């Protein structure tokens, strides 16, 4: 595994899947991170980490990788009795309608970020 190189001004992902900005480095060598999107506390969190991204904070605040913006997924899916989605995601409603099987009860549009559930929670 390649060693993570911490740099000021770059975004990183924490082990708790939060987005953290490295805002600078202290004289003692520790890096300062501002963790964004801390939903339970509804505010940003400042943490300090060493050159490897290890912090004195709990495990969900460890810096584990560079941040990559998640891919946005958009499309239409056919829903059948029992809540089953059969046939996969389609680019257009017309395409979903063409591929609908007997017994379809709905065709719904979805838009989510990769790695998140339909309710926006991280998986």
> How many C-beta neighbours within 10 Å does residue 78 have?
22
Tell me what the mean pLDDT of segment 72-87 comes to: 86
Give the separation between CA 90 and CA 88, rounded to whole angstroms: 6
Q: Is the pLDDT of residue 121 over 50?
A: yes
> How many C-beta neighbours within 10 Å does residue 18 have?
21
pLDDT for 93 equals 95
Instruction: Count Cβ atoms within 10 A of the Cβ of residue 20 and give its class: 0-12 exposed, 13-18 middle, 19 or more buried.
Output: buried
Query: pLDDT digit string (tens) for 19-57?
Result: 888 888 888 888 888 876 555 555 566 666 666 666 665
pLDDT for 40 equals 57
pLDDT for 29 equals 83
């Amino acid at each position: 595994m390649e060693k993570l190189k911490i740099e000021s001004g770059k975004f990183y992902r924490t082990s708790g899947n939060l987005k953290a900005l490295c805002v600078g480095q202290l004289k003692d060598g520790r890096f300062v991170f501002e963790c964004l999107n801390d939903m339970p506390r509804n505010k940003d969190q400042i943490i300090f980490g060493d050159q490897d991204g290890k912090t004195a904070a709990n495990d969900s605040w460890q810096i584990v990788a560079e941040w990559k913006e998640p891919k946005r997924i958009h499309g239409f899916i056919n829903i059948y009795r029992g809540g089953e989605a059969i046939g996969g995601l389609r680019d257009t409603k017309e395409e979903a309608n063409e591929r609908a099987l007997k017994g379809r009860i709905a065709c719904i549009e979805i838009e989510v970020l990769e790695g998140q559930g339909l309710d926006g929670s991280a998986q």
